[in-house]
Amino acid sequence: MVTMRDIAAQAGVSQATVSYALHGDSSISEETRQRVLAVANDLNYTVNLSARSLRSGRSHAIGVVLQDLANPFNIHLADAISRNAQTQGLQAVIQQTLYSQDTEQQILQHVVSAFCDGVVMFPSKLTVEQIRAHLSGKPMLLLLTEREAPDVDTIAPACGQALFTATSYLLSTGCRNLIFMGAAYQPYENIKDTDDSTLARVAGFQRALLTNNLTVAPEQFIATPNGWNPASGRAVIHELVKSGKHFDGVVCINDALALGVIRGLNDLGVRIPDDVSVIGYDGISQGEIVTPSLTTVANDFEDSARKITEMLTARIQDYDAPARHLTMTSRLIVRESTR
């Protein structure tokens, strides 16, 4: 088994320097740290978490507990967190709950509590207090809004603002008969201040219409009972076009759904963007290679991963510090699917 002594010999540094580099210690230069990490990678060095934990009281592993790894948003976020954690000398233990309360409980009790120094979690069933109880004092960062978890570190996607940006952009290109794909209608006054990520997107779409003095009609909202995935988007847009409904733009609740909408419109000979413009939200990599390529409001996954790792590391080091609350950044990326 490769040891720190082997890495030190090949990298031409001391064992202490190797330890500092693998732990992300700022006392050594970035050049030295990268050299050590490169040698460790070449030698296929792996960390013995049990031995490290016995020596230091820490495993230098963090749990990343997400709802569904079939969801492209979760895949991209988990990938970015894992890579960023490695640059900080941490290992990410990635788990999915599949929206099950029992699974959430088991992961927190038997994986995170046993092996990890802290956890990043996108909860679906457990309350904040239930999560806290299952962690038995372990630090946590939740993918929730500040109002949902005021005394816990949080980072939240800016879903409402992102859909406002997407809708506003389509309107700026001349589209006037828009549909919202992915959720049913809810009155704006009932959801304008919501913390629910789905309803926030519905509200963002409506806010853009109202800002431009356009009418919001319930029939503009198209639910997708089989989920926010390409197959669902393709099937629903087929039904919509064949029904004779007139529209010149589709604002999709996420990119995965938008990919299916593009495929479905192509199937039926509807020209994109000449006849219908399509825009999504997330910024998944597949949007770049579909034809036509997808205009989207893209989350900055790398920036979010860096913030998440920094916040959780700080919480591990200072459990009693005041809670911090951040919002993910996003930006409009214009491609071929819009005018």
Domain regions of the chain by residue span = 4-47, 61-158+301-329, 159-298
27 pLDDT band, cuts 50/70/90, is: confident
Range 159-298: architecture per CATH: 3-Layer(aba) Sandwich (3.40)
Q: What is the mean pLDDT of the chain?
A: 93
User: What CA–CA distance (Å, rounded) separates 191 from 199?
Assistant: 6
Confidence of residue 55 (pLDDT cuts 50, 70, 90): very low
In the chain, % of residues over pLDDT 90: 81
CA of residue 55 relative to chain centroid, distance: 34
- Judge if 4-47 and 159-298 fold alike in CATH terms: no
Q: How far apart are CA 311 and CA 88, in angstroms?
A: 12
CA separation for the pair 167, 121 (Å, rounded): 30
4-47: CATH number: 1.10.260.40
pLDDT digits (tens, 9 = 90+) for 245-264: 999 999 999 999 999 999 99
Task: Kindly report, residue by residue over 285-318, the tens digit of the pLDDT.
Answer: 999 999 999 999 999 999 999 999 999 999 999 9
CA distance linking residue 179 with residue 218, whole number of Å: 10
Residue 6, SS3 per DSSP: helix
What is the value of pTM for the model shown? Answer: 0.81
Residue 48's pLDDT is what?
55
80 pLDDT band (50/70/90 cuts)?
very high
Q: In what order do the strands lie in the sheet with 325-327?
A: 91-96, 61-66, 118-121, 140-142, 153-156, 325-327
Q: Is the pLDDT of residue 244 over 80?
A: yes
- The confidence band for 165, taking pLDDT boundaries of 50, 70 and 90, is very high
Closest by Cα among 177, 236, 178 to 205 = 178
Q: 61-158+301-329 sits in which CATH class?
A: alpha beta
pLDDT at 191 over 50: yes
